[in-house]
Amino acid sequence: MTAPGAVPVPPRVTRAQKAAAAKTASVLVEALPYIRRFWGKIVVVKYGGNALHASSTGNGDGATAEDSALASFAEDVVLMRAVGILPVVVHGGGPQIGELMARLGKETEFRNGLRVTDADTLDIARMVLVGKVNRDIVSAINVHGPLAVGMSGEDANLITAAPTHVDLGFVGNVSVVDPTMLERLVAEGLIPVVATIAADEAGQAYNINADTVAGALAEALQAEKLIFLTDIEGLRVVADDPTTVIHQASLDVIDEILRSGGAQGGMLPKVEACVRFVMRTGKPAAIGNLRYAKEIFSLKKATVIWP
């Protein structure tokens, strides 16, 4: 206990804390030109379920690693907001849905990279995306203050869905986006966190690919940039060769990569969403690794797609 009149001793700063502070300061100094460009602008950040899942399986200590990855992501989003950028977070959760289905003894079937979704699978997806992943991200951000608000595409008719194909069940596409509620939240200084469950005009719910939703929301919000954070460092010219990551690409270059099969699996909807956003808005889009989210401003550790 401090004696009356005594000068309190400040807490000791560890070497690790000093190093972390120096790194953050370095990132901010390097990012100043980008901060000036994006100040007061909306940036849509898609946080991939694969990125979180990869972090949680990296060292055998799943819960601790996943919590650490999520806490780091939350810090980065709060940092964006603190320097005047207006982030909107869209998240996936495919691996987490698969894990719960396995625990419940339900088999997962994919067709053309999309999960076949019957009524039971839709309920599971809703529980995981809206009730678990969304809550976790909101809570991680709100550790730093009352900033994040969770919602899904169903809330305030944010997204009106349409069925993709009868063979896929309750898998949907984005039909209409009404960004009114997102715009209100952003105007109040809040960070919307969006789960990608949406309903059609009759109220039937659908699970929609999160990459597709991120692109549609970015376009509707007239975002300054669309960013995908995933578990690899960017788009590869050769899909299975990590040394072929491309860091800057025009739409013509991306078209060539798509034709050659460089974008496969989960990368394909990300690239397609980027292409649509860049073509329709003339603004850049990027795909990068969650581990380098602090470089989210300059995006050196990413593939940046330009008009």
- Cα–Cα distances in angstroms (integers) from residue 193 to residues 147, 149, 153, 175, 304, in the given order: 10, 6, 10, 20, 23
Contact 54, 12 (CB under 8 A): no
3-state helix, strand, coil in the chain (%, to 5): 50, 20, 30
Q: Give CA–CA dist 212/162, Å, rounded.
A: 13
Strand 225-230 relative to strand 197-199: parallel, antiparallel, unpaired?
unpaired
Domain ranges of the chain: 37-301
> Could you tell me which residues come within 8 angstroms of residue 73 by beta carbon, excluding any fewer than 6 positions away?
47, 137, 140, 229, 290, 293
Q: Give CA–CA dist 46/277, Å, rounded.
A: 13
> Could you tell me which residues come within 8 angstroms of residue 76 by beta carbon, excluding any fewer than 6 positions away?
293, 294, 296
Q: Give me the CATH code for the 37-301 domain, please.
A: 3.40.1160.10
Residue-wise pLDDT tens for the chain (307 aa)? 556 666 666 677 788 777 777 766 776 677 777 788 889 999 999 998 766 655 444 444 445 566 778 888 898 899 899 989 999 999 999 889 999 999 999 998 888 778 899 999 999 999 999 999 999 999 999 999 999 999 999 999 999 999 999 899 999 999 999 999 999 999 999 999 999 999 999 999 999 999 999 999 999 999 999 999 988 888 888 888 888 889 889 999 999 998 888 888 888 899 999 999 999 999 999 998 866 555 565 566 789 999 8
Task: Report the half-sphere exposure of 295 (CA within 13 A, side-chain side).
Answer: 15
Give Cα 112 distance to the centre of its chain.
22
Across the chain, the runs of DSSP E, i.e. the strands, are 42-47, 86-91, 110-111, 114-115, 148-152, 159-163, 171-177, 191-195, 197-199, 205-208, 225-230, 248-250, 285-289, 302-306
Considering only CA atoms, give the Rg of the chain: 20
DSSP state for residue 263 in the 8-state scheme? S
Structure tokens at 227: 């960013």
